[in-house]
Structure 1
Amino acid sequence: MAITNGTTDDRYIVWLDIDNTLYPRSTRIAELMGERIHEYFLSLGFEENDARELHLKYYTQYGLALRGLMKHHDIDAQDFDRRCDGSLPLETILKPDPKVRKLIQDIDRSKARVWALTNAYSTHAKRVLHILQLDDLIEGVFFCDYAEPNFSCKPEREFYDEAMRVAGVTDASKCLFVDDNLNNVKAAKSLGWGCSVLYSEREEGHTMKEHPQVEGVDVVIGRLEELRQVWKHVFTDASS
């Protein structure tokens, strides 16, 4: 599902993952989310070890723990979203990064559109983008629709295919994608997306040459700024 006013055109489309990509892992939001999901399993009556094992199993098997919970335990996805994603104190943790905003601003809109591609629900996606002050730079957000009993998510093919359809993309080679999850990037690459980039966050001062090549991935970067080099054909001349 998407938040969009998109129409078909022949420009490139930059797909940006949100969580742990548009903000640093040091925020520990992933860990906080994991703790809340674990508590949710416990609230369903599972013992500590069983909850931990099922959480990992469902995440590994389905891409999201929520998918497994919906398939096997008939839970209310909207309730899960409120108690897990919705309870995260994002406003006290996240803050805008002028460098990230400038990076996205410098994508030449005559050459490329900018969308977000996330496994979160729309409420979380919009909340994060608003806090980071990036929502005005994003044309559309393709998200997991928790309201649908059989929703798809990264890295499933259906998710990428539907994202392209909703965004009006007919040529997969026009898709430029960055994500911090290896399986998500490899899935996009296998579908013929034009340049699929794995974001493996590193400290300032490293160079792209320090990253090992990863099978099934076009490029590995350690800082988002390196997208200016990788996708220089869609950035403004002043930023290249």
Structure 2
Amino acid sequence: MRAAEAFAQKDIWVFDLDNTLYPAGSDLWPKIDARITLFLAHLFGLDGMSSRALQKYYYQRYGTTLRGLMEEHRISADDYLAFTHDVDRSGLIPNHSLAGAITALPGRKLILTNGSRDHALRTAKALGLDEMFEDIFDIVAADFIPKPEAATYERFFDKHDVDPKRSVMFEDLARNLIVPHSRGMTTALVVPAPGEMDHREAFEITSEVVPAHIDFVTSDLEGFLVEIVTGLNGGAPATPVEGARRR
């Protein structure tokens, strides 16, 4: 399939943040993950192992640890978000090539994240991507209901006047692309490059068989976007990026 055929009618480009706009092997998500564990340890007076187990229980049951804490303990979301996202981002390297590729995409670009707006802004700035995006739809805008809940996407579509059929979504978790695909978005799963550390939970990792709701899979977001732009500009046919598959 030529890139021009797959993306010719698309002019809204939606990106997840963590482990999507920066490499999966980055140390940023493990730092945030550790801060979440520490928050629970302080909150409940737990040892590290018990806190970790509780964190993962909430995450798998509620979609985010924060939602579990809000549902079961009525904790302050502001305190949680400020604490867990208070991490050193110096390990992130500005990606000027990715910035150029995103800029070259025709139309609007938005971030849709289960993190906070402040986290997204600081992370995008560290990556040199802060000027590329029209806006950020964060967990607060979602009323603390995280992806993959359908209500989150509906809020996003309404708030930003997004027509799903004209949109593409890039995301590192396959389950977060089920609703977008059902609404008509073209979906692209961003996976770790071969040999790269994979910080996703075991239940989040897609099997060898690509689910039907995934239109594209790539381990090279920058290269994939360049390929799209090239195709839209009448260049060579789209061919699989190394480590990528298409259905």
| SS of aligned partner of 2:114 | coil
Q: Compute the displacement of 1:50 (Å).
A: 3.2
Call closer, same or farther: CA 1:32–1:157 in 2, change over 3 Å: same
Q: What is the count of residue pairs matched by the alignment?
A: 215
Other-structure match for 1:55:
55
* Contact 1:15–1:115 (8 Å) recurs in 2: yes
Deviation string 1:42-76 (CA, Å, 9 cap, x unpaired) is 11223444322221111112211111011112211
Other-structure match for 2:123:
128
Q: Which amino acid aligns with 1:132?
A: L
* Contact 1:228–1:239 (8 Å) recurs in 2: no
* Contact 2:113–2:139 (8 Å) recurs in 1: yes
Q: Compute the displacement of 1:98 (Å).
A: 1.6
Matched, 1:73 2:63: no
Deviation string 1:159-180 (CA, Å, 9 cap, x unpaired) is 11111111112x3211200101
Between the aligned residues of both structures, percent identity stands at 27
Q: Compute the displacement of 1:79 (Å).
A: 1.2
- Mark the runs of 5 or more structure 2 residues left unpaired by the alignment: 1-8, 196-207, 238-247
| SS of aligned partner of 2:111 | strand
* Contact 2:13–2:167 (8 Å) recurs in 1: yes
Q: Distance in 2 between matches of 1:174 and 1:158?
A: 19
Q: Distance in 2 between matches of 1:155 and 1:236?
A: 33
| SS of aligned partner of 1:25 | coil
Other-structure match for 1:3:
none
Deviation string 1:139-196 (CA, Å, 9 cap, x unpaired) is 11111108x8x52221111111111111112x32112001011111223213x23211
Q: Which amino acid aligns with 1:124?
A: H
| SS of aligned partner of 2:25 | helix
Say what the alpha-carbon RMSD is for the aligned residues: 2.5
Matched, 1:185 2:177: yes
Other-structure match for 2:40:
41
Other-structure match for 1:117:
112
| SS of aligned partner of 1:178 | strand
TM-score (norm 1): 0.80
